[in-house]
A and B are shown apart, each in its own frame.
Chain A
């Protein structure tokens, strides 16, 4: 059973371009989370999705950021018109259990490091 896969591992974009980050959860996991980690900072929650549904997007900026988890295929975190402040490591995690269950262990991917020039 492969772990959580993220690609690309490194992404370089110029200001104003779009960034698309992909996350394939572990087999059998239908719950996906996206986190952002700025240098010298802890991970910050962005969005929680189940298949075809956004459950909680309270940590995601209202503009330029969107996420989806279609019935087929990976979860996508999309950042439009990137700015330098978007440079960070973006981690995806998956879980077989719904959020809020006491021991809903989240399994993290290796992350995508986005650099905006």
Chain B
């Protein structure tokens, strides 16, 4: 069964600090992995997409890594800002089927002043 597990479930950090969110998956066959940011009451917004051959990808203060061998990914946020407070969702696409996206439950990040 395809699964995406994220940790921690929630996290509180001080403004300006860095943090790292984790994602483990058991999706097979693997196509790509995405990180989304979902503000409360809004739809998810794509941050990064990584394919099998990509180890790292950055988008501003967000850096995602992928280890396809261990089936792990991380999202590192640098110099956090209050606006980073949101749920961060790891999503893995499988190569089977038209639209097989498996979503994690998300990590709820709160950046405190």
Interface positions of A (Cβ within 8 A of B):
4, 6, 33, 35, 40-45, 48, 55-56, 58, 91, 93, 99-100, 102-103, 105-111
Interface size on B, residues (CB 8 A): 24
Interface positions of B (Cβ within 8 A of A):
4, 31-32, 34, 36, 41-46, 49, 51, 89, 95, 97-101, 103-106
Smallest Cβ distance from A86 to chain B, in angstroms?
19
Q: Are B98 and A48 in contact (CB under 8 A)?
A: yes
A42-B4, A42-B106, A43-B103 known; A99+B45 contact, CB < 8 A: no
Q: Are B45 and A42 in contact (CB under 8 A)?
A: no
Q: Are A109 and B43 in contact (CB under 8 A)?
A: yes
The one of B34, B45, B103 that contacts A44, using a Cβ cutoff of 8 Å: B103
Smallest Cβ distance from A59 to chain B, in angstroms?
8
**Can you offer 19 A-B residue contacts whose CB atoms are under 8 A?**
A42-B105, A43-B44, A43-B103, A45-B100, A55-B98, A56-B97, A58-B97, A99-B98, A100-B31, A100-B95, A100-B99, A103-B32, A105-B34, A105-B46, A106-B46, A106-B101, A108-B45, A111-B41, A111-B42
